Amino acid sequence: MTYSYTNTDSFTIAHARKLAGKVSADMNQCRLFYGQPSEIGIAQYQDELVVMLADEYVDKYEFGFKTSDDSRVVSWRYTVTASGDLEGGRSGGLHAKADISGAVWFNFMWTNTKWWNLTDAGRETVRARHKIVRTSGEPPTDGAGRWVQDRSYGAGGVVLQREEFRPW
């Protein structure tokens, strides 16, 4: 499913920074609870997310921990939607008690049709504006837990709806 960012408000780079800031605040809380990602990594992920949100290329965004067989242990996924909301909620409130022993950090971004309609050169031009290098792949599958829709962050008529995968 794809969403349009079109609304009566104009979505700007400032709005993208605000939304990416909420996600990076969540990553910082994740780092405090679980030790990953690094501060430098968080800054780089935030820069990438600002670029990709501002240019309207993001469909979903997720980070968390997975097992060696690619099953989620705990993670946070954000779905981009258009909304009339101009302001969104407070970041934080992440699940703090998951057992991540043996799990590894992951970060996954789903891009939308607008991204894939760019030429290869166009995508490379966008990628050159941040330091994250992504490869093709699939997100992890659900492990032993459940999804809980818990927060939404809005700016400029665009909302990031956050879901948290929590272990049982």
Classify residue 115: in a domain, yes or no.
Answer: yes
Number of domains in the chain: 1
Task: State the pTM of this model.
Answer: 0.89
Structural domain range at position 21 = 13-167
H/E stretch holding 118: none
Give the side-chain half-sphere CA count within 13 A for 36: 13
Integer Cα distance of 26 and 107 in angstroms: 13
Distances (CA, A) of 111 to 26, 53, 61, 98, 134: 21, 10, 9, 28, 12
CATH, residue 154: 3.30.900.10
Classify residue 1: in a domain, yes or no.
Answer: no
Chain-centroid distance, C-alpha 106: 11
Classify residue 18: in a domain, yes or no.
Answer: yes
Classify residue 123: in a domain, yes or no.
Answer: yes
Q: What pLDDT does residue 76 have? A: 97
Chain-centroid distance, C-alpha 147: 15
Classify residue 4: in a domain, yes or no.
Answer: no
Q: At what angle do helices 13-34 and 39-54 cross, to 10 degrees?
A: 150
Q: What pLDDT does residue 7 have? A: 45
Classify residue 3: in a domain, yes or no.
Answer: no
Ordered per-residue pLDDT tens for the chain, 168 residues: 555 544 445 889 999 999 999 999 999 999 999 999 999 999 999 999 999 999 999 999 999 999 999 999 999 999 999 864 445 678 888 999 999 999 999 999 999 999 999 999 999 999 999 999 999 999 999 999 999 998 999 888 899 999 999 999
Q: What pLDDT does residue 89 have? A: 72
